Every structure is written in C-alpha cells, then in structure tokens.
Amino acid sequence: MKDPVLYTNACIWRDDSYDPGIRAVYCRDGLIESFFSENDVFPAQCQVIDLKGACLYPGFIDTHTHSFEGGLYSDGLDLSAFQSIPDILEAIRIKRRSIHAQGGNVLIAWGLDENLIREKRFPSLKELDEVCDDIPLLLRRIDGHSCVINSRLKIMMMHSGIKLLKQAVYRGNDNDVIGHWFHAQCNEETVIQAYSRAAEQAMKGGFTTVHSMIGDALNSITHYALIRDRLSQFPVEFILYPQSLNMDAAIEVGATRIGGCILADGSIGSKTAALSEPYLGTPENKGKLYHTNEFWSGFISRAHHTGLQAAIHCIGDRAISQINDIYLRLHQTDPKELRHQLIHCELTPDPLVERIAASSAVCVMQPAFDLHWGGEDGLYSRSLGEVRSRQMNRFKTLRSSGITVTGGSDWYVTELDVRFGLQGAICHHNPVERLNAGGAIDLYTRSAARLSHDESRLGRIALGYQADFTIMSSSIKDNDEKRSVGESACDFDSLQVLAVVKKGRIVYDRYARYR
Ligand SMILES: [Zn+2]
Ligand SMILES: [Zn+2]
C-alpha cells in the first residue's frame, strides 16, 4: 500500500454519532491528516480506497485479554459446545490422535462449563486417563479458575518437585501453579506463534489494539521481555501487562503498569468470588478473599508510589471493596493520574458504585459475560439470586456515576470479537443497564484509550490521531429498553468486520475487497 491513503465513501463515526458532514479521511504517515465531504475535491497523488458506504469506526481496543493463552488454546480443544462427558471424552480421544500424528506433546482442552453439560461435573481422573494416558492433558474451566488434569501431567509435575493437593478439581493456587507449569513447557517459537495467532484473531474480531496479560499471576512475568522486544512485528498493537505480584521484575523490564488477573478473589462459576452475602443455596459459602487487606495495601501502595498503574482481578462485591478501598485511600492522600484498574468489577451494589466513583478507579469490564451468564436462568441468577443478578455488570449505572468503564473480552474466556462485547452492552439482560450504541462504542474506543493514557493518540477519528480504523458492514444501532435480549434492534448476526486499518494501512481485509 502506498502512502498517503484516502478512505472515501464511508459512513464515519465521530465520538458520539455518525458525522454526515464528512465522507472521506485522508491519512499520511500513519496519522489522520484531513477530512473531506462529499462535494470536496480530493487530493491528487494518493491511494484512494472506496469503502462503498461501509461504516468506519476508530480502531476498537480490547482492554483485557490473555493473548498468549488464547493464541495457544486456539490450537487446542474447545469444549464449549459439548453437552455430555462421553462426548467430551470422545473429542479428547480424537484430539490426542491428531496431536500424535502432528508430533505434538501436550493436549490442552478449555472452555468447559460443567453447569451446561448433562452430568454437571468435570470428567474424573480415571475417565481422562482412559482416553489420554501418554501425553499431559490440561482441561480448564471456561473462566480459567479451575481445572482437571490427567495422571501423566500429575506425574510430570511431581517429577519437577511440585506437590498438588489431593483433589478432583483444582482451584485457587493449585489451578494457577498447574497453568503456569503447563505454559512454561512452551519454547520461544511456540510463544511467538501464540501471539501471532492472537493478532490474527484480534483483527478478525475488529481490534487494532489489544491489552495483553503476560505472566503466571504469582511471581513470574514469563515472556514479557520476549514480546516487548518484538512488538513491531505484529499487525496489531499489544499493550503489555506484567501479570505478576513481582514488582521488582515489572520495574526491571520498564513496565508502566503491573497486574492483570492477579486475583483478589475467584469467579462466580467456581463459587470463589468473594461476596458480602453467601451464595444461593450454600449459606456457609461467601467465596474467598485470596489475600489480606495488609497484603494488598502494601502491594498497591508500592505500585502507586512507584508510579505504576495497578490492575487487579476482583469480581465479588467483597473483593471489589477490598481493592477499591485502597485505591480510594491513595486517591485521597496522594492523588495521581495512574487510573488504577478494577478488572471485571461484576457485582456492584449502589453504595459500592459511589465508592468506586470516589476512588477514580477504572472498571475494566466484559460485556460478553452478560450474554453468557446473565438472564433469569443464567449462572448469575442461579448462584446469586434475582436481586444480586441485577447488580451484575452495571455498565449504565457505573458510567452515569462518572466512572470510566472499558470493554474487554478476557479472551480466551469469551471470544476476541468486538461484536459480542457491543451486543452484551447494548442488549444487556437487565434493560436498565443497557448502553446505547454510542456508549457501547465508547467502551472500546475513547474510554479504552484513556485506560492506557493514550487518549490523545488512540480511540477517536480526529485530526492528528493515529489512523487506526475498524470498517464494518453496517451501522451499530441503539436498543430499546422494552426489547428482550433475543430481539435486538441491531442485527448482530449480520454485522461483519470487513477490514481493519492500522496506522493508515489495511492489515486485515476479510473479502480481499480493498486491495
Ligand atoms: Zn483475565
Ligand atoms: Zn480475571
């Protein structure tokens, strides 16, 4: 592609709405240089790309992914569509055979939601060994917060000196240790391939920038430096997080932030998210805070005083309070524009919303969670009851309280595809938490850019901004409070990502239309 480039005949999204006054964007040296209306004379000496009436949005930004795992797992076995243990075991048996044929040496299966299969449980050790006994097998739950493994993997870990609790399903620390050990078996080439696959997937899903968590969530930032030194070779921009409690290592590699899914609590699905009231049907279980207040206070204060943006996974109201109270105290005693993150931030009763607004934390949320787990019969209702299920993923309430909310997929947990995020926000099961199209787009553009302090470079179609665009087949429409989730005004099934432009150049072109 030659520079400069003129994208013409487009329906252009400018901050809050489509701007009928402009139809073309002129990009030079990777930046947006000027706009033209229908009747203007276009500049000569540039490459002209006719978008034929398609919609041009600022390049969407996914603010929370596990790109390495996602890239690695996209070559593994996706269990999300299976409905019974025998079906899952048969799929593992077949996958094992194909791995053998390709000379592979590990089997990763992921995406299992045991609540959605007939037996409502994980496969047992015995069952797994029957279909895969000669290569290590890791089977992760859809949220990544629990897993089961086969005997082969167990023995290999024991030989490395790692002792696991004796239990059928691993959660908490053991789950982290297993995941880390498994990932550490990958060599550099496999790691880089995983990021390349992640970049491909991101472009298909409409993203030009992707926040990526790197590390084991405990003490290692694993291949952070490896990817940092190769950022320019990927067609999308990765914004890296040393996902670790090891602050010295983060400072040493020159990171400006620390964390990611470093866990204040677990998940709703694993019943480990920390709640102020018990889970429905289990009066003794309020989930679990993984660390003490003193621990987090020391960790976050050090990050704050060092000038690092902190990012911490917190799902239940008790965990969100624990982290936000520390952000609030620091904001009151030593305010800085660090924009600390509450990742997921799912259960937020009204008083907590007020305290988040006061702490100036950013809520890094996953609209697609509502598509998966919202609704009357959904996981949230079944685990928390009706009242609390309405306090989940409160996009509208949080935004109306002046809080910056950003969108992320948590890929591999949900798909790396902006359409699901937009749909989750626009068609929320709880009509009062629905965003209009502008609000939903904002989660992935201006607010997302603000999260990484890139608001003067990314997230807008404006003069001088980086020429990052997502080109879509049709417009994104508001929904109506009265509609049910299934009958949205916007036809998300037919909405397509046609192309992605990074720094003025087309890097993804779904139908090879624009070359
Ligand atoms: Zn995550
Ligand atoms: Zn998380």
Q: What domains are there in the chain, each with its CATH number?
A: 76-170+177-184 (3.10.310.70), 264-406 (3.20.20.140)
Counting ligands in written order, the one closest to the CA of 262 is 2
Residue 484 has what pLDDT? Answer: 64
Q: How far is the CA of 5 from the centre of ligand 2 (A)?
A: 40
The DSSP secondary structure of 451-491, one letter per residue, reads HTT-TTTSSS--TTSB--EEEESS------TTS-GGG-SS-
CB atoms within 10 A of CB 219: 11
Q: How far is the CA of 315 from the centre of ligand 2 (A)?
A: 8
Q: How far is the CA of 102 from the centre of ligand 1 (A)?
A: 30
Counting ligands in written order, the one closest to the CA of 290 is 2
Residue with tokens 């404006």: 462
Residue 481 has what pLDDT? Answer: 59
Beta bridge partners of 313: 263, 343
Q: How far is the CA of 103 from the centre of ligand 1 (A)?
A: 31
Q: How far is the CA of 65 from the centre of ligand 1 (A)?
A: 6
For 410: left if phi > 0, alpha if psi spans -120 to 50, otherwise beta; the answer is left
Counting ligands in written order, the one closest to the CA of 145 is 2
Counting ligands in written order, the one closest to the CA of 68 is 1
Beta-sheet pairing, 5-8 with 24-28: antiparallel
Q: How far is the CA of 461 from the centre of ligand 1 (A)?
A: 29
Q: Are 75 and 420 in contact (CB under 8 A)?
A: no
Counting ligands in written order, the one closest to the CA of 212 is 1
Q: How far is the CA of 343 from the centre of ligand 2 (A)?
A: 7
Q: How far is the CA of 45 from the centre of ligand 1 (A)?
A: 46
The pTM score is 0.91
* Distance, CA of 386 to chain centre: 26
What's phi and psi for 285, nearest 5 deg? -105, 115
Q: How far is the CA of 70 from the centre of ligand 2 (A)?
A: 14
Counting ligands in written order, the one closest to the CA of 265 is 2
Q: How far is the CA of 161 from the centre of ligand 2 (A)?
A: 27
What's the angle, vertex CA 329, arms to CA 323 and CA 333, rounded to 5? 150
Q: How far is the CA of 145 from the centre of ligand 2 (A)?
A: 9
Beta strands in 41-198 (DSSP E): 47-50, 55-58, 60-65, 77-78, 107-112, 137-141, 146-149, 170-171
Q: How far is the CA of 107 from the centre of ligand 2 (A)?
A: 23
For 360: left if phi > 0, alpha if psi spans -120 to 50, otherwise beta; the answer is left
**Amino acid identity, residue 456?**
S
Q: How far is the CA of 326 from the centre of ligand 1 (A)?
A: 21
Q: How far is the CA of 415 from the centre of ligand 2 (A)?
A: 15
Residue 482 has what pLDDT? Answer: 59
Whole-angstrom distance, CA of residue 371 vs CA of residue 414: 10
Q: How far is the CA of 486 from the centre of ligand 1 (A)?
A: 27
Residue 11 has what pLDDT? Answer: 96
Q: What is the 3-state secondary structure (H, E, C) of 153-222?
A: HHHHHHHCCCCCCCCCCEEHHHHHHHHHHHHHCCCHHHHHHHHHHHHHHHHHCCEEEEEEEECCCCCCCC
Q: How far is the CA of 46 from the centre of ligand 2 (A)?
A: 45
Give the chain's residues under pLDDT 50.
Answer: none
Please tell me what DSSP assigns to residue 282. Answer: B
**Amino acid identity, residue 156?**
M
Beta bridge partners of 230: none
Nearest alpha carbon to residue 199 among 503, 495, 416:
416
The Cα-based distances of 219 to 16, 125, 435 in angstroms read 42, 29, 38
Whole-angstrom distance, CA of residue 272 vs CA of residue 290: 9
| Token pair in block for residue 147 | 């897993």
Q: How far is the CA of 274 from the centre of ligand 2 (A)?
A: 13
Q: How far is the CA of 263 from the centre of ligand 2 (A)?
A: 7
